[in-house]
Amino acid sequence: MEEVPQGCPGTGSAQAGRGASCQGCPNQRLCASGAGAAPDPAIEEIKEKMKTVKHKILVLSGKGGVGKSTFSAHLAHGLAEDENTQVALLDIDICGPSIPKIMGLEGEQVHQSGSGWSPVFVEDNLGVMSVGFLLSSPDDAVIWRGPKKNGMIKQFLRDVDWGEVDYLIVDTPPGTSDEHLSAVQYLSAAHIDGAVIITTPQEVSLQDVRKEINFCHKVKLPVIGVVENMSVFICPQCKKESQIFPPTTGGAEVMCQDLKIPLLGKVPLDPHIGKSCDKGQSFLTDAPDSPATLAYRSIIKRIQEFCGHHPPKEEHLIGS
Amino acid sequence: MEAAAAEPGNLAGVRHIILVLSGKGGVGKSTISTELALALRHAGKKVGILDVDLCGPSIPRMLRAQGRAVHQCDSGWVPVFVDQEQSISLMSVGFLLESPDEAVVWRGPKKNALIKQFVSDVAWGQLDYLVVDTPPGTSDEHMATVEALRPYSPLGALVVTTPQVVSVGDVRRELTFCRKTGLQVVGVVENMSGFVCPHCAECTNVFSRGGGEELARLAGVPFLGSVPLDPELTRSLEEGRDFIRDFPNSPAFPALSSIAQKVLSQAPARLS
């Protein structure tokens, strides 16, 4: 790294790249173009847009296929069962948008109005947005590099007309890359309540989930807690338990103890969950007595309690 | 690292390259990559595994190679040998991290740069097969990998799915990706295909059934087989054991062996 020239006006200054002392500096062109100066204006725009959204929850996992979308969808369903609670579900998995299918909204299209894009409504109080709605065929692949994906996420956050929302749930793809950085960056001025992290019991998942928790710490995203999915399988025939995904290193329980993070709950593996998702129906209403439903409901309650106990800093909301 | 553009390249000694892809996460790409490599090794082949999942590098643990160091030689990085006989070598970002919990929080361009290095700057030597394990999706890693491997004419892609519609929905997009990038599909593997209860032998379709075979049929690509859920397989991967050698009577073994056989029969005879 070369030394900063003497008399450098600073990269954020109006004189950046233009001052006399900028001549010969390797960053002169960059500064003169204004690139180093202001942060993305979208961040303020999104902050404004998010003023009507009381609580924002990210659903994350370092690992793929652990049930993020399944959980996001059922968190949305569960919260929306109270018709006075307005719920929004945003799917920022650009390459593998599962939410339309899981919510029974495949084939729906997004409409534009004067106030922006309209989400697709499952119920009056449950609106959904996903790149899936922008694709014309189920075979269409979104083969985009990072910057284009980031642009889409910015649009989703800035241009969707969510209206007055109590909970915005953001479903993410696996990993710790563009989508996650963009979501956190664009929402940085708008206060995210926290992240729910999904895992399955085995170490192969946990090792990725620890990275995700690390990511949350790095970007100062509060962790609401961890959900262990596909915990145990109960045979529908003999009712005996099997561990299909064995917790060889103690599962989420030990990981949460080690990292001092709440374990929100464990959801058993119920074949009906997958079936409900494939049919686009709420598993909570399809199988109200399943141990998995009871587990989901308990977890949802804990998340609501977390949001209730950690009100947004900037605004003092009148209790609903 | 210097560009190896002028030289024959570090992949010159690799006879067949096969990618393992899926639009969907968590369907078993790394599992299938690992078991395929083990099965090919047991068939007497020399195998390399290139793990281009930079955010979630699973392969080192699956082969009990966590924490190993990567050394350099004149031609670049030396891949890590996971066995005494040096019949399976592995390169993964997992080896380059200071701690296993360290998150690789990179945007696309930085990921692309490392993948290019992994393809051109790893001294693979003579290999019968190079298995390339990928993260889920159709984005930077996949485009960078396909572009970097194009000059070496990969055999094609093994596309992994689980039976249910939600998975198949994503995997259809991966097949489109293969079509658009000119990558031949060697076949579709359906993983997590049913679970046989060890107590009463009842088979439950935990993640539904039939989606993989149907997908292959609709897309006009070969269906390579269904692998059932098998806790012994999961446990082997957790502990870095050789499932193919140690559990020949386990439910997943026949399907995994059959898939390896089909891959072996696919490879056209090539002059070295």
Whole-number average pLDDT of chain A: 88
Minimal Cα–Cα distance from B271 to chain A, Å? 35
Kindly list the structural domains of chain A, giving each domain's residue range(s) and its CATH number in brackets, ordered by start: 1-37 (no CATH), 41-307 (3.40.50.300)
| Cα distances (angstroms) measured from residue A110 to each of A5, A156, B97 | 51, 12, 42
Counting Cβ atoms within 10 Å, is residue A7 exposed (0-12), middle (13-18) or buried (19+)?
exposed
* Tokens 């404004």 belong to residue: A48
- Beta-sheet pairing, A116-118 with A111-113: antiparallel
Lowest mean pLDDT among A52-61, A85-94, A126-135, A236-245: A236-245
The residue count for chain B: 272
Has residue A212 got a pLDDT over 60?
yes
Burial readout B121-139 (b: 16 or more C-beta within 10 A, e: otherwise)? bbbbbebbbbbbbbbbbbb
| Mean pLDDT on A246-262 | 96
ipTM: 0.86
Q: Is B55 within any annotated ligand binding site?
A: no
B67 touching chain A per CB within 8 A: no
Rg (alpha carbons) of chain B, rounded to whole number:
18
Residue A4's pLDDT is: 53
B228 touching chain A per CB within 8 A: no
- SS3 call for B20: strand
Strand partners, A265: A227
Minimal Cα–Cα distance from A136 to chain B, Å? 12
Which residue in A has a C-alpha nearest to residue B197's C-alpha?
A: A235
Q: Is B210 within any annotated ligand binding site?
A: no
Q: pLDDT, tens digit, for every residue of B244-253?
A: 999 999 999 9
Predicted TM-score (pTM) of the model is 0.86
A240 touching chain B per CB within 8 A: yes
Chain B residues in contact with A242 (beta carbon < 8 A): 195, 197-199, 231
Burial readout A152-174 (b: 16 or more C-beta within 10 A, e: otherwise)? bbbbbbbbbbbeebbbbbbbbbb
Lowest mean pLDDT among A277-286, B3-12, B230-239: B3-12
Has residue A232 got a pLDDT over 80?
yes
Q: What are phi and psi of A143, to 5 degrees?
A: -100, 75
| Cα distances (angstroms) measured from residue B106 to each of A171, A179, B264 | 20, 10, 36
- Beta-sheet pairing, A233-234 with A241-242: antiparallel
Q: Is B27 within any annotated ligand binding site?
A: yes
Residue A255's pLDDT is: 97
Q: Which residue has the higher pLDDT, B6 or A175?
A: A175
Region class of B28: left (phi > 0), else alpha (psi between -120 and 50), else beta: left
Q: Is B156 within any annotated ligand binding site?
A: no
Q: What percent of chain B has pLDDT above 70?
A: 95
CB atoms within 10 A of CB A125: 18
| Mean pLDDT on A193-210 | 95
Using CA atoms, how far apart are residues A203 and A291, in angstroms rounded to an integer?
24
Q: What percent of chain B has pLDDT above 90?
A: 79
pLDDT interval class at A296 (50, 70, 90) = very high
Residue A176's pLDDT is: 85
Distance of CA A193 to the CA centre of its chain: 11
Strand partners, A170: A58, A90
Q: Which of residues 1-60 of A touch B (CB under 8 A)?
A: none
Closest by Cβ to B197, choosing from A177, A180, A242: A242
Question: Amino acid letter at A219?
Answer: V
Contact A98 B170 (CB under 8 A): yes
Using CA atoms, how far apart are residues B266 and B259, in angstroms rounded to an integer?
11
| Mean pLDDT on A253-280 | 95
A to B CB pairs, distance under 8 Å? 205
B173 touching chain A per CB within 8 A: yes
Q: Are A246 and B135 in contact (CB under 8 A)?
A: no
Residue B101's pLDDT is: 86
Using CA atoms, how far apart are residues B167 and B172, in angstroms rounded to an integer?
9
Residue A234's pLDDT is: 87
Distance of CA B229 to the CA centre of its chain: 18
pLDDT interval class at A146 (50, 70, 90) = confident
Output the six-digit token pair for B157.
């892609």
Residue A36's pLDDT is: 55
Output the six-digit token pair for B10.
């570090």
B113 touching chain A per CB within 8 A: no
Using CA atoms, how far apart are residues B214 and B168, in angstroms rounded to an integer?
9
Residue A35's pLDDT is: 59
Q: pLDDT, tens digit, for every residue of B100-137?
A: 888 888 888 889 999 999 999 999 999 999 999 999 98
| Mean pLDDT on A276-291 | 94
* Tokens 């847009």 belong to residue: A49
Contact A211 B58 (CB under 8 A): no
Burial readout A59-92 (b: 16 or more C-beta within 10 A, e: otherwise)? bbbbbbbbbbbbbbbbbbbbbbbeeebbbbbbbb
Q: What are phi and psi of A103, to 5 degrees?
A: -95, 5
Residue B5's pLDDT is: 45
Q: pLDDT, tens digit, for every residue of B132-158?
A: 999 998 888 999 999 999 999 999 999
Q: Are A139 and A211 in contact (CB under 8 A)?
A: no
Nearest in space to B23 (alpha carbons), one of B176, B128, B213: B176
Contact A177 B164 (CB under 8 A): no
Give A140's DSSP letter: -
B164 touching chain A per CB within 8 A: yes
Lowest mean pLDDT among A34-48, A126-140, A223-237, A253-267: A34-48
Using CA atoms, how far apart are residues A254 and A209, in angstroms rounded to an integer?
13
Whole-number average pLDDT of chain B: 91
Residue B180's pLDDT is: 94
Has residue A311 got a pLDDT over 70?
no
- SS3 call for B141: helix
Q: Are A74 and A296 in contact (CB under 8 A)?
A: yes
- Calculate ∠ Cα A254-A255-A261, nearest 5°: 110
Residue B87's pLDDT is: 95
Contact A146 B136 (CB under 8 A): no
Q: Is A63 within any annotated ligand binding site?
A: yes
Q: Which residue has the higher pLDDT, A32 or A234?
A: A234
Contact A138 B62 (CB under 8 A): no
Q: What percent of chain A has pLDDT above 70?
A: 88
Q: Are A99 and A130 in contact (CB under 8 A)?
A: yes
Lowest mean pLDDT among A85-89, A175-179, B260-264: A175-179
Closest by Cβ to B169, choosing from A138, A210, A218: A138
Q: Are B155 and B18 in contact (CB under 8 A)?
A: yes
Residue A316's pLDDT is: 43
